[in-house]
Amino acid sequence: MATTFPRFLELPWEIQARIWELSVEPRTVKVRRVTVTRARCSYHEGRGTTYEVVTSTPVPAALQTCYQARYKHRLYQPVFSELDIVRSCEERRYVWLNLDIDTVDAGLSNGLTLFDFKSVARSIRRLKFETAEIMVGDKAALHEYFVNLQELHITSSNEKLLELATMRKYLSGFLPRSLKKLFVHHTVGGFTRQWDESVGDDDPQHIRWVRDNITRTRLKDLRVKAFILSRW
């Protein structure tokens, strides 16, 4: 079976575009903003503190294929350069994203807050972050800046966040009106909870659980315990 198609560029433009579109898949892209202290140099007196946007997620394979895939078909866009605060002699960094389908993993476990992403928050539709507790600042940032957010993933070691009453207490009145899906992932037990209807702050009383999934790891643990008990 052939693994190459050297006459791809001879196809009609519309077919090429459609093929490139079908090559795009949803990703979770890690985006971090790190502090960098620069050493003294002849152009800048003293040590200058700057901020750089970095990601450990590889560049999509399609963008490394050819010029058309990278620039003409606009499969992904270079975004988040606003998070870079650099010196005048340096170029801003950016991250390749398809903001329609990609989930932005903001981390936040290294001391950052959602306020650090306020300059790009309006463009984010799918967000993931990790926290032990949902702080007041995070709630305020969600409500004030992430106004186009459609899907939110919260990863936490705090099992209480899996409880419906606790999530209502923490988030009711602070979620953006645009939000459609909310996931809470427990890092230790492997549990996942999901709301799958409108959970915007204009209608908090209708928030409900629609699914309670247990990951494969958790299921395996339960089966092992059941086997041990059956032998007891």
Q: What sign does the dihedral 200-25-193-210 (CA atoms) show? A: positive
> Do residues 169 and 201 both lie within one domain?
yes
Q: Is 26 within the bounds of a domain?
A: no
Task: Report the candidate in 222, 226, 197 with the shortest Cα–Cα distance to residue 209.
Answer: 197
* Ranges 7-11, 186-190, 214-218, most confident: 7-11
> Do residues 75 and 125 both lie within one domain?
no
Percent of all residues in the chain with a pLDDT value above 90, rounded to a whole number: 15
Percent of all residues in the chain with a pLDDT value above 70, rounded to a whole number: 70
Domains held by the chain: number: 2
Domain housing 50? 33-98
Which of 98, 114, 146 terminates a domain? The answer is: 98
> Do residues 48 and 114 both lie within one domain?
no
Q: Is 167 within the bounds of a domain?
A: yes
Q: Cα Rg for the chain, rounded, in angstroms?
A: 22
> Do residues 146 and 89 both lie within one domain?
no
> Do residues 129 and 195 both lie within one domain?
yes
* Residue at token pair 């040590």: 47
> Do residues 198 and 166 both lie within one domain?
yes
Contact between 101 and 24 (Cβ < 8 Å): yes
Residues 182-191 have a mean pLDDT of: 79
Q: What is the pLDDT of residue 171?
A: 76
What burial letters (b/e) apply to 11-37, b meaning 16+ CB within 10 Å?
Answer: eeeeebbeebeeebeebebbbbbeeee
Per residue in 28-45, pLDDT tens?
999 987 777 766 555 555
What DSSP designation does 125 have?
S
Q: Which two tokens stand for residue 228?
A: 């041990």
More confident residue, 97 or 20: 97
CA distance linking residue 128 with residue 153, whole number of Å: 4
Residues 51-75 have a mean pLDDT of: 80
